[in-house]
């Protein structure tokens, strides 16, 4: 994560650029192309489309909805629409949440497979399940969010490469993005949409400053990094701590491979008794699988003298001897990769 923007911020900038390109080059009835999703190229030049002046994307909220195809964009087929976004207070007013932004991004990720107008129409169809005034409020937030993404795309070209920035330059760039969000979105919505991401951004800047401080010893630097981590929201902080624990566990597992009791004691101390028991069980099952897989492979090698249906039947009998249920399908899949 050193000297980089968060993945969410980088992805947001990238989608903003695509959005800016779309708004500039398509009219209300002409789609845009996004090569990254493998969509066929479409001529969206102003001459080809008979385009009029470019519009702010928020204007799509109040225009006639686009006609939608009967099927979802291919990238959304088989996926689940984000939930938990339809929150309202006692007066029926919308409560902005991170999940609402997830709903927007879920559909906007298909930009290029469908036009922006169509994707906005899909979002509006979802928002139609809200009662008033929450429905109208959600529509206004969607319009402001789209305008923000367009504005972000327009300034992206002037932003420095994150890999070449020092901590002060990184902090200034992130501050500019933060201010832009609050220029287009009200404070409550901006906080709901971006608080987690912005906390990670600040942590990354703090990391950069600490790692660049030559006055610190290695031990002091490690202490400062752990202290900076305390500023992260609890879910991210806990996830990082668990990741470190499992990384350390992989080393301890090798060191204590010949002492199962000591390894189990380490598991319980690091993860708690219940989690340690589950982890031990999973590892035991994996070790048993690996043992049977090796034996199966050895026995299968002895069937090389057979061919055609005779060999296939022999291999199937061998799988049934070593594996049951879903394991047999797993073994068959692994065989097909060999």
Task: Reduce the secondary structure of 266-289 to three states and give it as a string.
Answer: HHHHHHCHHHHHHHHHHHHHHHHH
SS3 content of the chain, % helix, strand, coil (to 5): 65, 0, 30
Pairwise CA distance, residues 81 & 95, whole Å: 19
What is the pLDDT, as a whole number, of residue 292?
Answer: 94
Pairwise CA distance, residues 312 & 257, whole Å: 38
Region 171-177: mean pLDDT is 93
What is the pLDDT, as a whole number, of residue 73?
Answer: 94
Region 188-207: mean pLDDT is 94
CA distance to 272, 321, 330, per residue, from 280 (Å): 12, 26, 22
Provide the pLDDT confidence category of residue 244 given band limits of 50, 70 and 90.
confident
Mean pLDDT value across the chain: 82
What is the pLDDT, as a whole number, of residue 234?
Answer: 85
pTM value surpassing 0.85: no
Report DSSP state, residue 16. Answer: H
Provide the pLDDT confidence category of residue 40 given band limits of 50, 70 and 90.
very low
Provide the pLDDT confidence category of residue 54 given band limits of 50, 70 and 90.
low
Residue 326 has pLDDT above 70, yes or no: yes
Residue 99 has pLDDT above 50, yes or no: yes
What is the pLDDT, as a whole number, of residue 195?
Answer: 93
Provide the pLDDT confidence category of residue 283 given band limits of 50, 70 and 90.
confident
Residue 297 has pLDDT above 90, yes or no: yes
Region 283-292: mean pLDDT is 90
Sequence-distant (6+) residues with CB within 8 A of 235 are: none
Residue 34 has pLDDT above 70, yes or no: no
Residue 38 has pLDDT above 60, yes or no: no
Query: Which structure tokens are listed for 207?
Result: 């990391």
The more confidently predicted of residues 6 and 189 is 189
The more confidently predicted of residues 178 and 254 is 178
The more confidently predicted of residues 18 and 338 is 338
Sequence-distant (6+) residues with CB within 8 A of 95 are: 87, 88, 89
The more confidently predicted of residues 153 and 140 is 140
Which of 73, 195, 94 lies closest to 136 in space, CA to CA? Answer: 94
Residue 189 has pLDDT above 90, yes or no: yes
Region 187-197: mean pLDDT is 95
């Amino acid at each position: 994560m050193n000297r980089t923007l968060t993945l969410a911020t980088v992805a947001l900038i990238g989608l903003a650029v695509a959005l800016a390109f779309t708004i500039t080059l398509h009219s209300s009835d002409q789609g845009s192309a996004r090569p990254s999703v493998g969509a066929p190229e479409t001529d969206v030049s102003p001459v080809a489309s008979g385009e009029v002046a470019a519009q702010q994307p928020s204007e799509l909220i109040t225009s006639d909805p686009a006609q939608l195809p009967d099927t979802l964009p291919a990238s959304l087929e088989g996926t689940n629409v984000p939930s938990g976004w339809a929150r309202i207070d006692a007066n029926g007013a919308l409560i902005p949440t991170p999940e609402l932004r997830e709903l927007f991004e879920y559909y906007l990720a298909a930009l290029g497979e469908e036009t922006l107008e169509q994707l906005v129409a899909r979002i509006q169809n979802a928002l139609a399940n809200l009662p008033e005034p929450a429905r109208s409020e959600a529509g206004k937030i969607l319009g402001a969010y789209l305008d923000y993404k367009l504005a972000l795309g327009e300034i992206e070209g002037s932003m420095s490469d994150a890999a070449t920035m020092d901590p002060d330059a990184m902090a200034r760039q992130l501050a500019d993005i933060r201010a832009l969000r609050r220029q287009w979105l009200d404070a409550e919505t901006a906080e709901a949409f971006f608080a987690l991401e912005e906390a990670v951004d600040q942590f990354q800047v703090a990391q950069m400053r600490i790692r660049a401080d030559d006055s610190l010893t290695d031990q002091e630097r490690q202490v400062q990094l752990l202290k900076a981590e305390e500023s992260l929201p609890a879910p991210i902080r806990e996830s990082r701590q668990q990741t470190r624990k499992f990384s350390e566990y992989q080393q301890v597992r090798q060191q204590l491979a010949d002492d199962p009791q000591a390894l189990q004691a380490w598991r319980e101390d690091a993860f708690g008794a219940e989690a340690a028991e589950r982890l031990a069980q999973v590892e035991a099952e994996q070790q048993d699988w690996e043992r049977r897989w090796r034996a199966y492979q050895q026995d299968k090698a002895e069937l090389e003298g057979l061919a055609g249906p005779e060999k296939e039947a022999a291999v199937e009998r061998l799988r049934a001897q070593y594996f049951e249920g879903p394991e047999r399908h797993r073994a068959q899949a692994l065989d097909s990769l060999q």
